Structure 1
């Protein structure tokens, strides 16, 4: 009797109805589905955070491109420098390129705001538009890199002839007010150089040639004075320049290297121009890398949104 009771109890405990099996399977499947949903939401949050950080970088680098273009176009020293190192056609190309760089910078900042709106609203439509804008922006950035490389070659081809021409034909002296003279004086003081040639640029003012049999325009004017000077006062070392008529800088009894910067300006100017254009290339190249990352991030965001829906 006791044995039958125990057997009946064990049978009732181990009896599993079909409905309980279905309920158990649905529970495990539901948990698994919820787990994937939570993972998708976490992934969406991580992608959004990463997206916003990259958008901030886009805004900053876009602002740098705008600032670079404005700095190049509006700072008088830059325009004076370009007058000395580049031909009229090259200067025109430089100015057009700077306008293109500014436009790309503005587009970068606008597109970054569009991306932020898409990520904040989790809108697949806005993200799709942003993806197309990224393609346009990528083409523009590649154009910027190409322009800066091209300008470096153009300026390198012009710099020797243009610097020599402006020095020999247009420089009038330390107190002259024409643009070439002001530019040369500022250049020689800022870069601590004299003339054009790398090692003995200070001789360029008095050096004669078939084209310039009497030397530079400035030196021909000096020959009419009782004590002609051999170099302009803007070539003098800083501690010797007090006025344009400072005689200490023009003491011909002392070696020139004690009085003036004997090295020419061409190597320093060429390095400065190349470095400046290289900075624009680096900013654009960094933006290109961010754009590539954006492509992947936008696709991941769209995928996460599709999974979430």
Structure 2
């Protein structure tokens, strides 16, 4: 009867050890965002209710699941446990199928997600002119974005800031009116372009990165499925 291939066994162990480490990193970052002061500011800046918290909670769940899968794969390979390897195969297959389904849905509703983003940005314009404490974190995030991307306001330009303009114009101050990208508003020279176009471009670029990562993960997950099933069969034939 054939024995268990040492190459497959230790490849499976290394693969799942790295998988387990990825789970720890994802879980650690998600927990940090959930409990730290800076993370709370990031979550509250969007002013979108519980949705940012739901996203972080999903990340925590994903990190925990990846850790469990990595543990099952490592132990299953080292101990040559068919039960653990089968559980690993089933759970990884389910994740891969969910990932494929999410990709199909994401492609199908791409235009709809774009309109949701625009709707959210238009809704949050009022936060720039607000004087409430809740709006301050969002305003700080926008000023940083303005400074980095050379834009002003969210949708309508500098006018979005309302009475808060003079307190925040420095982040979107433009060098000279001779520059075609500059305009004058309330006696200050600021960038003409609102930040909505830059945000949309940034989201589109990040979406391509996410798709690339998802594709890479799908390949790694497929290799994990192949390794686990080959090892499972070899243990059964031993």
TM-score of the superposed pair, with normalisation by structure 2: 0.70
- SS of equivalent residue, structure 1 residue 171: helix
| More contact order relative to length (CA 8 Å, sep ≥ 6) | 2
1:53-92 to structure 2, matched below 5 A, reads 53-66=14-27, 69=30, 75-76=39-40, 78-79=42-43, 82-83=46-47, 88=48, 92=50
1:170 to 80, 105, 127: 127
Larger radius of gyration: 1
- SS of equivalent residue, structure 1 residue 264: coil
TM-score of the superposed pair, with normalisation by structure 1: 0.57
Q: 1:93 Cα shift? A: 4.2
Q: Find out whether 1:160 has 2:104 as its counterpart.
A: no
Q: 1:193 Cα shift? A: 1.3
Structure 1 range deviating more: 269-278 or 144-153: 144-153
1:229-279 alpha-carbon deviations (Å, 9 max, x no partner): 6x8232115xxxxxxxxxxx7x98998739533322112212333444554
Q: Pick closer, same or farther for the CA change 1:277–1:294 going to 2, 3 Å.
A: same
- What is the rounded CA distance, in whole Å, between the counterparts of 1:69 and 1:92 in structure 2? 15
Q: 1:186 Cα shift? A: 3.0
Q: Gaps spanning 5+ residues in structure 1: where?
A: 1-36, 206-215, 223-228, 238-248
Q: Gaps spanning 5+ residues in structure 2: where?
A: 184-188
Is contact 1:148–1:280 with CA below 8 Å preserved after alignment? Answer: no
- What is the rounded CA distance, in whole Å, between the counterparts of 2:13 and 2:212 in structure 1? 22
- What is the rounded CA distance, in whole Å, between the counterparts of 2:193 and 2:52 in structure 1? 28
- What is the rounded CA distance, in whole Å, between the counterparts of 1:287 and 1:147 in structure 2? 18
Q: What is the number of residues matched between the two proteins?
A: 227
- What is the rounded CA distance, in whole Å, between the counterparts of 2:179 and 2:69 in structure 1? 63
Q: Match for residue 162 of structure 2?
A: 218
Q: Find out whether 1:257 has 2:217 as its counterpart.
A: no
Is contact 2:43–2:52 with CA below 8 Å preserved after alignment? Answer: no
Is contact 1:66–1:106 with CA below 8 Å preserved after alignment? Answer: yes
Is contact 1:138–1:288 with CA below 8 Å preserved after alignment? Answer: yes
